[in-house]
A = this chain, B = another copy of it.
């Protein structure tokens, strides 16, 4: 935890009272005392300093912080993700990893090769997935909570939703080993948000890929190596960020 996050609704006249894992973290990991300062941020808001004004180090833990927010959070790359629903245990890791790297919206969608059982996992409720997003923000010292949008019908997403949101993006890209374009060619000369799509283990079916292309996606190749979904999500994010850094 590199920053302690709170929701605006928890704040009372500039005072934040904690009695959960965050209080425990301040006491057991940071070993704070009254008067100490910690890095703090409001979810979807600014970052600043929390000053410990009351601390109860024995269970039940309690920490009161006086909150002073002054700065914008770290920059986040203008990147969104379309992800075929992965195995829930992998999804948790992907959510915190891409949140740490910086992401705006994650569209979780169905595909032919997505195992049906994945859709019955508890991870798809807000209560379950938000903690993994928070974990990513706490890691990266960010406050911007990514949006999660879930689409259980591939065709509905690609035919009804994607064409509508495509206009918000300067580039929409999808990895495909047999594409002749490079990622740089797909992104070059454009400025604005980027949407990238990562398929299920085993890949998109050819008709699925064709529907993406018809909806405005551009395919690119990054070589013949086959990657697991979590590796692909992070490495493509790195590649996009590198191109954005080099052209900004």
A interface residues (Cβ-Cβ under 8 A, vs B): 2, 74-76, 97, 100-102, 139-142, 182-184, 222-228, 230-231, 234-239, 241-243, 245-246
- Given A231-B97, A238-B234, A242-B238, is A225 in contact with B184 using a C-beta cutoff of 8 Å? no
Interface pairs A-B: 9 shortest CB-CB: A238-B238, A235-B238, A239-B242, A140-B225, A234-B234, A74-B224, A242-B242, A238-B239, A97-B231
- Given A224-B74, A225-B74, A241-B222, is A231 in contact with B141 using a C-beta cutoff of 8 Å? no
Interface of A is mostly: helix
Q: Are the C-beta atoms of A101 and B226 separated by less than 8 Å?
A: no
Q: Are the C-beta atoms of B238 and A101 separated by less than 8 Å?
A: no
Task: Point out the residues of chain B lying under 8 angstroms from A224, CB to CB.
Answer: 74-75, 141
Task: Point out the residues of chain B lying under 8 angstroms from A101, CB to CB.
Answer: 225, 227, 231, 235
Chain B nearest CB: distance from A139 CB in Å? 6
Q: Are the C-beta atoms of A141 and B225 separated by less than 8 Å?
A: yes
Chain B nearest CB: distance from A117 CB in Å? 17
Task: Point out the residues of chain B lying under 8 angstroms from A2, CB to CB.
Answer: 226
Q: Are the C-beta atoms of A223 and B139 separated by less than 8 Å?
A: no
Task: Point out the residues of chain B lying under 8 angstroms from A230, CB to CB.
Answer: 97
Q: Are the C-beta atoms of A184 and B242 separated by less than 8 Å?
A: yes
Chain B nearest CB: distance from A177 CB in Å? 10
Chain B nearest CB: distance from A234 CB in Å? 4
